[in-house]
Structures are given as C-alpha cells and as structure tokens.
Amino acid sequence: MDNYFRYSYEKCPICEKEFANDDDIVVCPLCGTPHHRDCYKKNGECSNFDEHNKGFRWAPSEKNKLVTEDTIPLPPINNEGENSSPETFTPPIFADMQNLLSVFPKEIAPDVKTEEVASFIQLNAIKYVEKFFNMNSGKKTFNWGAFFFTPYWFFYRKMYKLGAIFLALTLLLSVGFSFIPSVQKLYSDITEWTEKYNVEEAKDLTEEEIEQAYAERNEMVLGNTTGSALVMLQGGLSLAIQILVGFKANKWYYNHTITNIKKIKSQEPDIQKQRLLFFKSGGASVGITFLAVLVNNMIVMAVEMLSTFIK
C-alpha cells in the first residue's frame, strides 16, 4: 500500500508540509518519524534525533486511523522512557524498504528476522536479502563486486579478517613473484622496451620500424620462458582467487551478517539498542576501504624500491 495512506494528514517535521499522495516518504529507523526523502537527506538525520535517547517514538495523529497489514505498531512508552512491550516491538525501517521486504519470509534464519538483516546490510539491502534467500533454497549466486574488487570489497563490507587474508594473498602474488630473477628480468626488459618505443615517438616510426619493435618484444618474451610462464601463473592464480571470491562472497557475507546479528541480540536485550548496533556494526566502510588501498600501494612501492636497491 502506498506510503501516503499510512501518513495521510501527517506533516513532514522539516518542511512542515502535509504529505501528498505522490510524495516520496522515508521513516527514521529508530523512532518511526516520517519525512520527505529529500528533506531527510538535506537535514542529514532524523528531525527528532536529539530525542532518541529519551525513548521518543513517533505516533500518528488522531485523524490517521487507517491500519494496514504492513503498518508497524508503535508501543506505549513507560515512565522510564522504555518500551513497555519490547517483545512485540520492532523499530521500523525505511518505509519503502519495508514494502519491498514484504515479499520475503519474515525470518531469513532461525531467530533472525529479514528486516534485521536489511537493517544490518543497509546499502543494497534488498539485493542481498534476495541473494541470501536464493542461497538458502540451493541456488548459486555470484558477487561481481567482490570479483572485480578483491580484496577491497571485504573491507567495504566490514569483513576485516577475510579482507586481510585476501589482501595478503594478493600482495604475495604480486610482490612475491617480482623477486624471482627470471620475472625481474622480464619486467626490466619490458620497461626498457616501453621506454625505447614510447607513445610520443611511436607515431613517427615507419611500418618497418614498428614491425621490428614488436619482433623485439616477442623475442624478449619468448626468450625468457621461465619468466613468462611465472607471469602467466601469477595471472592465473589471481584470476582463480577472484573467481573463488565471486562465488563464495555472498555466502561469507551471509554468515558474517547472521553471526553478528545473533551476537548483538544475545548481548543486548533492548530492541532499540539492538537496531542501533546493527547500524553501527553493519553497512559499509569507505574509510577502511581507502585505508586498505593505501596500505597495499605503500607496500608495493616499498617492495619496488627494495627490488631496485637490490639490483
């Protein structure tokens, strides 16, 4: 059912305009306050953010009496500002996401609700929820983001242990092979060839000189069979790791999500605080991803300098 019917006669607390039939409405995941999506983005947070710690819960006006199957009931608040019936209250998530989640079963795993998983994942939550249900029904899934951005996808999704493991493997393949003499010789020869026939001078070369240049390169590569074979092996192993990650990433992410949700729920009985911990522990981390890229580049540069010094 359209968001309007759940928020008819209500006003956006930021622009103070009454919600219209075609308005794009989102809901604060902690207190349930509805906002225009643009107003929410512009404000950067819920208009009642400062009231969250006091146990604030948004309630509809008296005029808004319509209750639908997917309407999330708001519990009464006791004198201590806590839910009087926490066992039946689930803090709402964005209204549009709630509608999309309604096509899935309410539980994705024993004692783990689908909307809890969506709250933990946050970005692209519906896509991953669908993949998780497909996996649970025995279907194969593939994660293209993890395939193309191994190992950084793991850091982005806050799976730091797996990120560290695959970053180490990536560095081992790229850096470790570069210390092998035959590979060093091949890279050195290719660098000299590139400098000899650089892009600026290539346009001035005759057809005969271009043929000679490619003949030199082929002779260089074919003449160093060990180095060429090792470089091909390096590329093959790297591709194999990416393919493995592509097929396994969704399963690993599912296990990571379910494990963390169960851990949070076992340690924190308050449902509102659980949802807040889902937001903090889940989602994505651009900062850590950038740091991982920086560390990788620094290590590669240090190894290249060391390799040049050894020569």
Q: pLDDT tens digits for 129-156?
A: 999 999 999 999 999 999 999 999 999 9
Are the C-beta atoms of residues 262 and 107 closer than 8 Å to each other? no
User: What is the Cα–Cα distance from 210 to 203, expressed in whole angstroms?
Assistant: 10
Token couple for 201 = 């001078």
In one-letter notation, the amino acid at residue 116 is E
pLDDT at 133: 93
Q: How many CA atoms lie within 13 A of 120 on its CB side?
A: 28
Alpha carbon distances (Å) from 160 to 153, 164, 167, 245:
10, 6, 10, 15
First to last CA, the chain: 70
Positions of the chain with pLDDT lower than 70, given as ranges = 1-6, 62-99, 199-203, 307-311
Cβ neighbours around 23 below 10 Å, total: 19
pLDDT at 237: 94
Are the C-beta atoms of residues 96 and 26 closer than 8 Å to each other? yes
Q: In DSSP terms, which residues pair with 112 in a beta bridge? A: 109
Are the C-beta atoms of residues 159 and 245 closer than 8 Å to each other? no
Strands 25-27 and 107-109: unpaired
pLDDT at 57: 81
pLDDT at 303: 78
Are the C-beta atoms of residues 145 and 119 closer than 8 Å to each other? no
For the chain, percent of residues with pLDDT exceeding 70: 82
Report pLDDT digits (tens) over 271-310.
Answer: 889 988 998 999 999 999 999 999 999 998 887 777 666 6
- Cα-based torsion angle of the residue sequence 95, 97, 99, 101 in order, rounded to the nearest 10 degrees: -140
Q: In DSSP terms, which residues pair with 11 in a beta bridge? A: 18
